[in-house]
A and B are shown apart, each in its own frame.
Chain A
Amino acid sequence: MEEVKLLGFWSSPFVYRVKWALKHKDVKYEYLEEDLWNKKSDLLLRSNPVQKRVPVLLHDGKPIAESIVILEYIEEMWPHNPLLPQDPHERAMARYWMKFGEDKAPILLGFYLNFGEEQEKNVKEAKELLKILEKHGLGENKFFGGDEIGLVDFAFGWIACWLEVMEEAVGVKLSEAESLPRLHEWIENFKKVPLIKENTPDRDRMLSFYKQRREQRRESFISSRAS
């Protein structure tokens, strides 16, 4: 009997990557919502003592942390409906782009995380990075995974389903359809995939959450500048 649990937070795109992978593989799991801002559960603190964050996958009680690491684990444990290419070079390229996404996340999310000059700088750089992603990562493919979605699509899923909500919350546009036509096509295709369509957080709830968080960040930013 296999017991799979997922510790998560309702708005986290990192958690959704894992949810999508589990559902794609038809793996039954128990979802446990973490109250990240008030009190993290003992289970979370025991399972991920190093980072103390979600997502954490528990398979027969054994914890795995870090969304990309969890995705690779799921792919290996449940190899049917593969999410990574068979060819070793193509697999390496998939891993490369997932790492690109991780490494560049602070810049890509800078428009939401930062303010003033730093935010402007991040926005400019992020637009360049999205162009690179579109040209070299996606190329002429329908999905990052080729004809079908794969782990890389899940990893960039936040661009499809979260980005425009965050853009609205902040009042800054990072990704214009005119300058990134292929990426926007991918966004539309990705959102239409039934697995994704049926599994994204409520937009209104996200908008109000990100607006609130942005205000809290702004207050911290202003007070840290004043001191």
Chain B
Amino acid sequence: MAHEEVKLFGMWSSPFVRIVEVALKIKGVQYEYIEEDLQNKSSLLLKYNPVYKKVPVLLHNGKPIAESLVIVEYIDETWKDNPILPQDSFERAQARFWAKLIDDKCMPSLWRVFRSKDNEQEKATEEALENLKILENELTDKRFFGGETIGLVDIAAKITVYWVQVAQEVAGVGIISSQNFPVLFKWIDDLLSCNVLKETMPPKDKLAAFFRTHSKASK
């Protein structure tokens, strides 16, 4: 194949960046990773994502793509080996629906729990638990959401759950445990047995330290 330049602008503590990295690794795509300091964004990032000014941004042959789920769809369409989305259109629609639910509802409601206090936190926790229950019911005991191999929903859900596990320890709020969400909890262990995910996740202690500093700074 002709020389393809693939760059990923990211931040090590962002689960959205990790989702894209896992997709690139599953496809065996060679890429250059550029760590961004979000307090001090590079002019390159601002040039490539002038609207959101966020990471991840994928640069392929000089053309930028932003938004993690959009990037993953692009990756899946551009590099055909090891499909991440199902081939069947109906199954694809289901995968998109669940990935969207995780992205739009689950992740934000979980962050609201960790960022809020007292009464607000109680309400936020209730909402987060409702959303997680929906996910738990859908996952059942399947090893992978859609089929025989890891796909989009697996990546998004497992990475979310990994982040939540660290965040909840730091916040001292128990959200996911083996009692209340046995399937989701099992998925965390399962994640660590999947090489591509395991090697892409930041170490838990490093992430925990980051959350601690972050929450102190926002007080």
Contact = CB atoms under 8 A, between A and B. Distances in A.
B65 A96 contact: yes
B73 interface: yes
Interface in B175-213: none
B93 A72 contact: yes
Interface in B37-75: 50-51, 60, 63, 65-67, 69-71, 73-74
A88 B74 contact: yes
A18 to B, nearest CB: 13
Contact of B93 (A69, A95, A99): A69
Interface stretch (B12-20, B97-105, B166-174): B97-105
A102 interface: yes
B119 interface: no
A77 B69 contact: no
A40 interface: no
B73 A64 contact: no
Contact of B74 (A62, A89, A132, A136): A89
Contact of B97 (A65, A92, A99): A65
A70 B90 CA distance: 10
Given A64-B97, A69-B96, A99 B71 contact: no
B104 A102 contact: yes
A93 B51 CA distance: 12
B89 interface: yes
What is the size category of the interface that chain A forms with chain B? Answer: 20 to 34
A99 B74 CA distance: 14
Contacts of A226: none
B50 A91 contact: no
A59 B92 CA distance: 14
B93 to A, nearest CB: 4
Nearest to B101: A50
A173 to B, nearest CB: 24
Interface of B: 50-51, 60, 63, 65-67, 69-71, 73-74, 77-78, 89-90, 92-94, 96-97, 100-101, 104, 134
Nearest to A57: B93
Contacts of B97: 64-66, 69
Nearest to A102: B104
A100 interface: yes
B67 A89 contact: no
18 contacts: A50-B101, A62-B90, A64-B93, A64-B97, A65-B97, A66-B100, A72-B92, A73-B92, A76-B92, A88-B77, A89-B65, A89-B74, A91-B74, A93-B65, A95-B73, A96-B65, A96-B67, A136-B50
Given A50-B101, A136-B51, A95 B90 contact: no
Contacts of B51: 100, 132, 136
A96 B49 CA distance: 11
A89 B63 contact: yes
B90 A59 contact: yes
A72 B152 CA distance: 16
Interface string A37-61: 0000000000000100000000100
Contacts of B71: 92
B89 A77 contact: yes
Contact of B73 (A66, A77, A92): A92
B92 A95 contact: no
Nearest to B100: A66
A110 to B, nearest CB: 17
